[in-house]
Amino acid sequence: MQGDWGFRKLMSWLGCDGYLFPSNTKNTASERGIVCTCKLCENCSTRLFNEQGTSKQILTSTSVSRTNSKTDCSTERIVGFNYVNEPIKFKSRPIKLSLYPEQLKYTKGGGFRLIEITNLGEQRIAIKVKSTNKKLFYAKPVFAFITSKSTTFIHIYRTNSESERPEKIVIHAVEVSHLETDPANSFNSLLGEFGEQFNIEIEINDKN
């Protein structure tokens, strides 16, 4: 069936080993169903196609924990799985981060400062670090994963500049699945529609 290969590949990778193709003897129905019948995604992984094989409904659940028993099935989606180039809707929870310091202080001569980011929540997250002036400020790393109750450190470099304009560091955070391997992909697939934003103000002293 047209359009089914990617779905089969995904479910096979997750450990799915059974399919049921409802029969259609008259071949006149406008919709055909493909239902996975394995323990991994029973009752929660139904996908419908029209006669042209285009997707009408993608997986109702793709956030699946791989276990030997193949019985764990969530009601949420894997962040980043985008089968038909459509934004993925997922049940979000408040993202709790601890940021230290709450303000960065620089001289006009620039220099390095360190941001400590702690994930206080229960869900693994991905972060993207930006600034309001990309010509003055650079972050390393720009993207990172932070697991629950753990801390990561971001280096922020400011170049030598006479500018005294108020600036800030912007941290965009999204929940991600344990299956994600590249934090940058978490943001590319979400198309910028999901997540929470945290700001750290920057103070520039008037001395060189």
pLDDT at 64 exceeding the cut of 50: no
pLDDT of residue 23: 41
The pTM for the full model equals 0.54
Band (62; pLDDT cuts 50, 70, 90): very low
pLDDT at 185 exceeding the cut of 50: yes
Out of 14-23, 107-116, 163-172, least confident range: 14-23
Band (6; pLDDT cuts 50, 70, 90): low
Band (125; pLDDT cuts 50, 70, 90): very high
Q: Is the C-alpha dihedral spanning 204, 96, 98, 184 positive or negative?
A: negative
Query: Which domains, ranges and CATH numbers included, belong to the chain?
Result: 5-57 (no CATH), 97-204 (2.60.40.10)
